[in-house]
Structure 1
Amino acid sequence: MKIDLHTHAKLSKASDFSAAYYEEMIGEALESGLDALALTEHFNTRNFYEVYDNLDRMFPYNGDYYEANGLKIFPGMEVDIRETGHILLIGRRETVLEARRRLDGYADKDSFILFDELMDLADSLPLLKIGAHPFRESTPLHHLSDAQLSRLDAFDLNAKDLYEYGREANRERVEGLAARLGKPVTAGSDTHQCLQYGSVYNELDADCGSVAELKEAIRRGAYRIRISDELPIKVKASVMLKKLLKKLARFEAETAAAAGAM
């Protein structure tokens, strides 16, 4: 099973969820050869709960994942911590939504939850906990203590960072940190739109039908990380397209506002 463990459904945190936009993304994910993905939308994205309300209308949910035209979508979210850094939490829909409800008072930048408190919350629920892009300059994790980082299940080898900081250099740093702590490394594209799918993914030895099975496969190391030779062009094109789509969205909003003022 080929799975991407760090993906987004929306162009940005400020944008609304679009069913048509996400349908296009799913089509591209399938085209890139993926069998599954974890949807780790930002926990403080605009109208977070509406993302899952829309998925409920779009696709059947079997109790563990959404069945999206042959693609498995495992629920999740990406959470900011006060110390700076992002944590991916992946689980069943009701578990992810319960964790999000417990974070209702922590969504603003000045009130992000402390790492240890987030781990206490996550440990009280059946969730897979992955430290996102641990060496990204803007949102690192490596500054936390080894005791803290050891509470995570894995660390994210992130396509955007492989492009930004160099494939070998970034991979060496992430794998070095994980090895020191006795933790596995998982791959995530961190895509906000379709072109970045397939840049990196995890190829599991067997199909997984639940997050519990996925977590166990990762723990046992029953998978391999695949990095596409096309990663640089995929990520570069993705960044450029994202900028263009954001400009278009702003232009459409300004045009609509101007028309409404007439």
Structure 2
Amino acid sequence: MFAVDLHTHSRFFHWSPGRPTRFDPVGLSLSTLAARLRGLDAVAVTNHDYAYTSQRRFPTIPGIEVSTTMGHLLVVGPDPPSRTRAGELTPSEVVEEAHDRGCAAVVAHPYRNSSLRDTDADFDAVELNGKNPEHVVQTRELAERLGLPLTGGSDAHYPFEVGRAYTLVDADELTPAAVADAIRGGETEAVVNLNRFEEELDRAYTRIHHAKGAMDGGGFSPQ
């Protein structure tokens, strides 16, 4: 059993979506250090619309957070798409490509700026997101209704956020292919573990996302 944060970012902000920046190596180094300190075994690097990986001692799982036409979809595994264009691909198109590449497709934060839960795409799992513990009950009910397993991801953009939600992955080895297979096979357990500071931070995130949703007209925003 491995503890893996399946939703992290190697950058603080989305100032240039869809491509790597000079900050990515620094951000990933800080994130993996935080993950090690929190007792995790690995992190998945899932930047918005581009994949970024780097060889390092702490295990990292390749991934990408695709901005589909209806919300954000995590693609995790050995060969995620290197780049995507925000708002261009449908959920079904992303899932099909993910499976063709030996990856798993996970619905990210299903109750924040997303309508993925209303599609009939062949998702592999639903995420309990570390930024939205107020949605835990709804998300568990959604996963049960869809007959899908749950994963956990912190959605960390800053190192101190890593590990506030993570996934227990039942696999024989800690490789991208094994992690993807475990997700697709339902061999995962989602964990949300917030300390008092993170609970207060979540309340701030919730206010920010509500305000952003209002400014976006209440619909899905690619970023």
Shorter-chain TM band: 0.7 to 0.9
Q: Which moved more, 1:32-41 or 1:207-216?
A: 207-216
Shift of 1:182: 1.2
Matched, 1:74 2:61: yes
Which residue in the other structure is 1:29 paired with? 35
Which residue of the other structure, out of 152, 157, 167, is the alignment partner of 2:128?
A: 157
Shift of 1:238: 8.4
Cα deviations across residues 215-243 of structure 1 (Å, max 9, x unaligned)? Answer: 3333454443322241x523645898xxx
Q: Indicate if the aligned counterparts of 2:124 and 2:148 stay in contact, CA closer than 8 A.
A: yes
Q: How many residues align?
A: 199
Change beyond 3 A, Cα 1:236–1:25: farther
Q: Aligned partner of 1:34: which letter?
A: L
Q: Aligned partner of 2:73: which letter?
A: I
Query: Secondary structure in 2 aligned to 1:139?
Result: coil
Which residue in the other structure is 2:197 paired with? 233
Which residue of the other structure, out of 71, 74, 77, is the alignment partner of 1:88?
A: 74
Q: Which moved more, 1:8-17 or 1:71-80?
A: 8-17
CA distance in 1, matches of 2:13, 2:154: 15
Q: Which runs of 4+ in 1 moved over 4 A?
A: 235-240
CA distance in 2, matches of 1:108, 1:154: 21
Change beyond 3 A, Cα 1:193–1:235: farther
Query: Secondary structure in 1 aligned to 2:63?
Result: strand
RMSD across aligned C-alpha pairs, in angstroms? Answer: 2.6
Which residue in the other structure is 1:2 paired with? 3
CA distance in 1, matches of 2:9, 2:30: 13
Q: Indicate if the aligned counterparts of 2:104 and 2:183 stay in contact, CA closer than 8 A.
A: no
Which residue of the other structure, out of 122, 129, 145, is the alignment partner of 2:98?
A: 122
CA distance in 1, matches of 2:197, 2:178: 33
Change beyond 3 A, Cα 1:219–1:35: same
1:100-249 paired onto structure 2 within 5 Å: 100=82, 103=84, 107-109=85-87, 112-136=88-112, 138-142=113-117, 144-145=118-119, 147-148=120-121, 151-162=122-133, 166=134, 170-230=135-195, 233-234=197-198, 236-237=200-201
Looking at secondary structure, tell me which structure has more helix per residue.
1
Cα deviations across residues 189-209 of structure 1 (Å, max 9, x unaligned)? Answer: 000011111211122345533
Change beyond 3 A, Cα 1:25–1:236: farther
Q: Which has the larger radius of gyration?
A: 1
Q: TM-score, normalised by structure 2?
A: 0.78
Cα deviations across residues 148-186 of structure 1 (Å, max 9, x unaligned)? Answer: 2xx010011001111xxx2xxx12211111111211010
Change beyond 3 A, Cα 1:8–1:21: closer
Cα deviations across residues 63-121 of structure 1 (Å, max 9, x unaligned)? Answer: xxxxx33x210101000111x201101122xx22xx235x4xxx155xx2122222232
Identity over aligned pairs, percent: 28
Change beyond 3 A, Cα 1:172–1:229: same
CA distance in 1, matches of 2:115, 2:130: 15
CA distance in 1, matches of 2:160, 2:82: 28
Query: Secondary structure in 2 aligned to 1:191?
Result: coil
Change beyond 3 A, Cα 1:118–1:205: closer
Which residue in the other structure is 2:219 paired with? none
CA distance in 1, matches of 2:163, 2:95: 30
CA distance in 2, matches of 1:80, 1:108: 5
| Unpaired segments ≥5 residues, structure 1 | 60-67, 241-262
Q: Aligned partner of 1:155: which letter?
A: V
